[in-house]
Structure 1
């Protein structure tokens, strides 16, 4: 990633009074031309870099520039490492080890954080890492991707322009422009298979501001009111927080919430068995009754 190299160069310049371009090129395993472009990018970001030619020359941060507010403290570097460790959990490359070695090298004074463990992977870790890697490649190269997608009511082949890889609502998604629907859509990676990066390029579109609010993609189409047995308090708190219910006189828990997907909501409610009663809407009560009758008929 270019960003880890830029962070690394800044950290090296913070720790050393002056370094040479060949030294940085060797350390970060890139060409001198790439290092020169990186230095220009760092300058554009507001950190003044000075280059001097001849014997004793090199690259340094402008003397007198306030390093304490411009670059990274040990705590800030540890926060960066913690974030990279979370990316490592769904990547085939260990970014945190690469960056730590390039920033500090021998005799590091920046300890890697070992009191935080963030695992963003799932049961499908291997396939998830492969999908994220392919999507990152497609996004960086501005290429369309093709995949087979499974909906609750069917499946379809999709061709999209990918723009963002999103971790939200405890799941990974790709946000992109669907060429068939001619609109921006979110696709869950665990429902996405046979992913291919095509040779077809795309001209980047400007994402409308309202589309950048990913919560808007998950509208509350179904509002339910239900009463839960008190034994299910821990599950409600785990999923929606302690403010999601109010206590009733008989000790049960009154719950009201909106759901985006009807099938997901029904499946979630059924997971509580007889420890929940839906009060309204009537259509949800009726659907649960029908499912209960169907289950009873199977088991006689």
Structure 2
């Protein structure tokens, strides 16, 4: 699981002077891109990882961190894994503060003062919606762990209200919002449920799985279709682009434009992302995405 890998990478870094992305990718049997995302996740909660660029580059922790001070209880370890997996801004502030103090104790010095770590929300919702979503996440996590089912009332994007029996699998953070990936017994397929649209939910203490559950889950994983996407942005968007793309995916052109080339799962809807940039983005390829984007712009203009 991702959370276990993140924690293993942290322990690995604590024991090594410096390790390259290639070494970590080989050690944990994932791609270099995945390693970069994992390192970003670790940094986001204040783990002091230093990145070195170039041929002999890699990752290391600051020298003042020591492995023999890295001691957590099982409950704290579990919380740390949840933080790494679920973008810590949605967890209890007091719990997070306690964990941050423990991380500070890893340092050899005994400087006074508060934590120099600040976690701010990265979602697009108001605080009241954040609080509601936080409660939902805290209720859903034990259901996923215990493999229970849930009964939910769900409002679709087209305003259709339905009642579903679902088997939760994992939480996903996408485009500034939280989604629950689950097997829907009504549709007999995997579905993504946006947490803000789940209006009611009730735990069903039933661990039986649908007969086609494993097959459906596996076929969903295999259905990932990666394709190269090429976009052109105004130079004014450069800072924002580094929130989404790696250095080697971004090309600065002499005419002031910024081209981005990356691979993406084309089963996922890219239009909300493109609309974030308004007139500052142009789709270069593939042709089907260009046509879809233009159709969406036309629809918005005419509506």
Contact 1:85 1:118 in 2 (8 A): no
Structure 2: runs of 5 or more not aligned: 1-66, 101-109
* 2:35 corresponding residue in structure 1: none
Give the Cα separation in 1 of the matches to 2:178 and 2:171: 7
User: 2:7 maps to which residue?
Assistant: none
Query: What is the aligned residue count?
Result: 217
Of residues 173-182 and 113-122 in structure 1, the stretch that sits farther from structure 2 once superposed is 113-122
2:80 is aligned to: 83
Q: Does 1:268 align with 2:273?
A: yes
Q: How far is 1:136 from its partner? A: 3.7
Distance 1:76 1:167 in 2: 29
* Higher CA-based Rg: 1
Deviation at 1:145, TM superposition (A): 0.6
Distance 1:113 1:208 in 2: 48
Contact 2:225–2:267 (CA<8 Å) still a contact in 1?
Answer: no
Do the aligned residues in 2 keep the contact of 1:161 with 1:176 (CA within 8 Å)? yes
Q: Does 1:192 align with 2:187?
A: no
Normalised TM-score (structure 2): 0.51
Aligned positions of 1:1-300 closer than 5 A: 73-77=68-72, 80=77, 83=80, 86=83, 89-91=89-91, 94-95=94-95, 114-118=115-119, 122=123, 123=125, 124-139=129-144, 143-152=148-157, 155=160, 156-165=162-171, 171-198=177-204, 201-203=206-208, 216=221, 219-220=224-225, 223-260=228-265, 264-293=269-298
**SS of equivalent to 1:133:** helix
Retained in 1: the 8 A contact 2:231–2:281?
Answer: yes
Secondary structure at the aligned position of 1:238 is classed as: coil
In structure 2, the CA distance between the partners of 1:213 and 1:130, relative to structure 1 (3 Å rule), is farther
1:81 Cα offset (Å): 9.7
For structure 1, the 5+ residue unaligned runs are 1-71, 101-108
How far the C-alpha of 1:137 sits from its partner, in A, is 4.6
C-alpha contact (below 8 Å) 1:159/1:179 kept by paired residues? yes
Name the Cα RMSD after superposition.
Answer: 4.9
Deviations 1:225-253 (A, max 9, x none): 22222221112111122222223343322
Deviation at 1:85, TM superposition (A): 9.6
Residues 118 and 75 from structure 1, CA distance in 2 versus in 1: closer, same or farther, beyond 3 angstroms?
A: farther
